[in-house]
Amino acid sequence: MKKEDKIKVVEQISEKILQYPHFYITDATGLNAKQTEDLRRLCFKEHVELMVVKNTLFKKALDKTGKKIDGIETALKSQSAIMFCETANVPAKLIKQYRGKELQKPELKGAYVEESLYIGEKSLEALANLKSKKELIANVILALQSPMQNLISQLNSAPNNIGGILKTLSEK
């Protein structure tokens, strides 16, 4: 690869790093063409951008963005495919969904999520169980709505309760 081409690739990768708040580093070696195509389609459907990169170019792109992520070098071994995303837990769920029962790839090598670094396959379950920002907001709204809904339902049922009590008293 020519130096000019490498510079363009580093520029593209650094734009992606700045564009997306989260990225996953995976190992997808060993997937055949059909499996790779299926993975790319699933990523597209879930709004995850998949990019196969050279580790050295990815490191240079990180340096260019100014992000200092201590320990990321341990995840940048062998061939890497980077999954860029807006929602933190989507790639982890996507990896788990794609693997199914037979496949062991793609393998999670590392992830940069919520300004924290996760290294290794053991982190996949924790990342998949993370709640997205939208899910957290929905939970807060639901928690805030619940007491109000109880109050409104009790206020609406009060006239019926008073009317029932008065009717019972008048019959006695």
CA triple 27-28-32, angle to 5 deg: 160
Q: What is the 8-class DSSP label of residue 80? A: E
Inter-residue contact 43 to 81 (CB < 8 Å): no
**Spatial distance between the Cα atoms of 139 and 39, rounded to a whole number of angstroms:** 31
Residue 127's pLDDT is what?
78
Return the structure tokens found at 39: 């993975």
pLDDT 10s digits, 37-91: 888 888 888 888 888 888 888 888 888 888 788 888 877 888 888 888 888 888 8
Q: pLDDT band at 159, cuts 50/70/90? A: low
Fold of domain 3-130: Alpha-Beta Plaits (3.30.70)
Residue 99's pLDDT is what?
78
Residue 166's pLDDT is what?
64
Segments making up each domain of the chain, as ranges: 3-130, 131-172
In this predicted structure, the answer to whether residue 33 has a pLDDT above a threshold of 70 is yes
Is the Cα dihedral 43, 58, 130, 122 positive or negative?
A: positive
A 10 A CB-CB count for 86 gives 14
